[in-house]
Amino acid sequence: MNYRWMIPATLGAAAVCLIAPIVGGGAGSVDWPAISEQRVQELKNLRFGMFICWSFSTFSGKEWTPGIKDISFFRAKHADVDQWVKTAKEAGMGYILFLTKHHDGFCLWDTKTTNRKVTLAPLGRDVLADLRKACDRHGIKLALYFSEGDWTWPGAEDGKSGKGGSNPEMKKAQLKELLTGYGPVEYIWFDHAVGTGGLSHAETIQFVKSIQPGCFVGFNHGDQEGADIRLGEMGRPGPLNDHSAAGPHMRNAPARSYRLAEFTYPILPAHKGGAMWFYSLPEHDNLVHPADKIYQDYLGAEKYGNIFSLDVGPGYSGRLRDIDVKTLREVGRKIRGGSATGPR
């Protein structure tokens, strides 16, 4: 099914109650309605989600994976999206945040903008389309991660921080595919680590809102003004007025436009060697944060009205590690057995 979510919740007259007064932009800009308090509460009520990072770095054992020319480096033959979504459901999660493209430019959907995509890799499947269907089957919402810059774009320096090149029309084309072909997107988690891709944050926000006005937009660092969700890479629970809760990567001044805060960290504790946000190495297969820690941060998210995106990286087989599934089920039992409400 091909979705197009042009305004939050329902179309027509009912949308009026979900849209706040229009926020003015700068000279020559197009104004879009601010997200309403009702829509903010909808996202807050999701509370807890699974951040899925699965790409070249799964197979390199490194956080960043430059220098890949042959996309068969992504050698997965299976993608058990149902396992991902069922585990999220069992954990008491309300959404999945899915990595669509990392800095290396490999796309996890069937894009028409490049041949550097999963449907031409050995897997040969549109993982995002499959995930969307699984989320719909199990009542889980979907959010998307997207690297703003891309080491394959003009002017890029492969593997370099802040050197993701410039290709604003390609950035817009890829975002348009994601925002028109895969249903309602709760929010986009923009990674600024290798730059803007030639489209400023203000322009990026305007473009996203022109397609899905109800989609929240956030940046892990860089210019924050206009963002309606504060992202917290390696962050912690905390009130919206505590900018330090956004974690060590947020070095920019807070935006006046923030409506709520997210924080995220990997289910893997700190370790030597291998990746953290992606599957690491087989030698780390028994490393995991305890369920008690995750549950306490869940309670913190509930206390402060945050959303908590716990990163869990599928392995070579396209399945979550057994220890992650076991831990997340325990978190779910704690949520259901305690006073925490879970997604509403």
pLDDT digits (tens, 9 = 90+) for 326-338: 999 999 999 999 7
* pLDDT above 80: residue 302: yes
- CA–CA distance, 213 with 130 (Å, rounded to integer): 24
Burial (0-12, 13-18, 19+ Cβ within 10 Å), 256 = exposed
pTM of the model: 0.91
Q: Give the sign of the dihedral formed by CA 215, CA 117, CA 63, CA 267.
A: positive
Domain spans of the chain? 50-337
Q: What is the mean pLDDT of the chain?
A: 91
- CA–CA distance, 44 with 36 (Å, rounded to integer): 13
Averaged pLDDT for residues 61-77: 97
DSSP 8-state secondary structure symbol assigned to residue 225: T
**Is it true that domain 50-337 has CATH number 3.20.20.80?**
yes
Helical H runs in the chain? 37-46, 56-60, 81-90, 127-138, 168-181, 201-211, 291-304, 322-337
pLDDT at 31: 63
Nearest-5° Cα angle at 140, 139 to 145: 155
- Residue 98: strand, helix, or coil: strand
